[in-house]
Amino acid sequence: MLKLYGFSVSNYYNMVKLALLEKGLPFEEVAFYGGQAPQALAVSPRGKVPVLETEHGFLSETSVILDYIEQTQGGKALLPADPFGQAKVRELLKEIELYIELPARTCYAESFFGMSVEPLVKEKARADLLAGFSTLKRNGRFAPFVAGEQLTLADLMFCFSVDLAYAVGKKVLNIDLLADFPQAKALLQLMGENPHMARIVADKEAAMPAFMEMIRSGKR
Ligand SMILES: N[C@@H](CCC(=O)N[C@@H](CS)C(=O)NCC(=O)O)C(=O)O
């Protein structure tokens, strides 16, 4: 059986978890926080979460894990059948990751964990996020899903990145990144109503106190 290593507060972990749940695949969750200790690096070469343990060994990097699951497992397809359609999904996923998730991440410490972030970092995050959201506005189809009528891998990256980026905008950067983006707002709401989301949110809430304690005690 596939084993998913990570923790329920991680947005990247939850992308893979939602893919597995959507596909109706059996999987086991293994608590793993990543980091630079030798034991962690033996599982994840960069010490990152999530990791998928397969019959062939460990796999890191969320988009790679999602592709591997798509290619090797049954269940509901999260990519269209045609190669161009698949490439468009991967393009959107990558754009959301590179130009929205990663710049927002530079401000997570202040937005979610009670720390402060340098003004210069915030300035860069603001410019990068404005460009990232403009890119998504131009390229997303929102019909109603990011890449069209079908729920795809791009929606997994979307729903677990855009919600956090929006919160960073509001809490740290004083901007409403969704103010003139009703399609994205509607999709966030739709994804929030996904039947598997209740479990993911409940698991995240249950894991949050222990995670905050790890941050407070400097273990992360
Ligand atoms: N590029 C990685 C990024 C994953 C990532 O940043 N995960 C965070 C948790 S959400 C993490 O592992 N943080 C621990 C660390 O960086 O030490 C992926 O696609 O999986």
Q: What is the pLDDT of residues 105-155, one digit of tens each?
A: 999 999 999 999 999 999 999 999 999 999 999 999 999 999 999 999 999
| Residue 64: per-residue pLDDT | 98
Ligand 1 atom 18: residue of nearest CA: 61
Compute the residue count for the chain: 220
Distance in angstroms (rounded) separating the CA atoms of residues 181 and 162:
12
Instruction: Report which protein residue has its CA nearest ligand 1's atom 16.
Output: 48
Ligand 1 center–CA 10 separation, angstroms: 8
Q: For residue 6, how far is its CA from the centre of ligand 1 (angstroms)?
A: 9
Q: Yes or no: say if 8 and 14 are a contact pair by the CB < 8 Å rule.
A: yes
How far apart (Å, rounded) are the C-alpha atoms in residues 160 and 27? 20
Confidence of residue 217 (pLDDT cuts 50, 70, 90): confident
Q: Give me 206's structure tokens.
A: 């249950």
Closest CA to 196 of 13, 18, 16: 18
Rounded CA separation 27/68 (Å):
14
Residue 60 corresponds to which amino acid?
A: S
64-80 average pLDDT score: 98
Q: What is the pLDDT of residue 184?
A: 98
* Mean pLDDT of all residues in 51-79: 98
Ligand 1 atom with the smallest distance to the CA of 50 is 20
Contact 146, 73 (CB under 8 A): no
Report the pocket of ligand 1 as residue ranges, CB < 6 Å.
10-12, 34-35, 47-49, 61-62
Burial label for 115, CB within 10 Å (0-12, 13-18, 19+), is exposed
Q: Ligand 1 atom closest to Cα of 48?
A: 12
Note if the pTM is more than 0.95.
Answer: yes
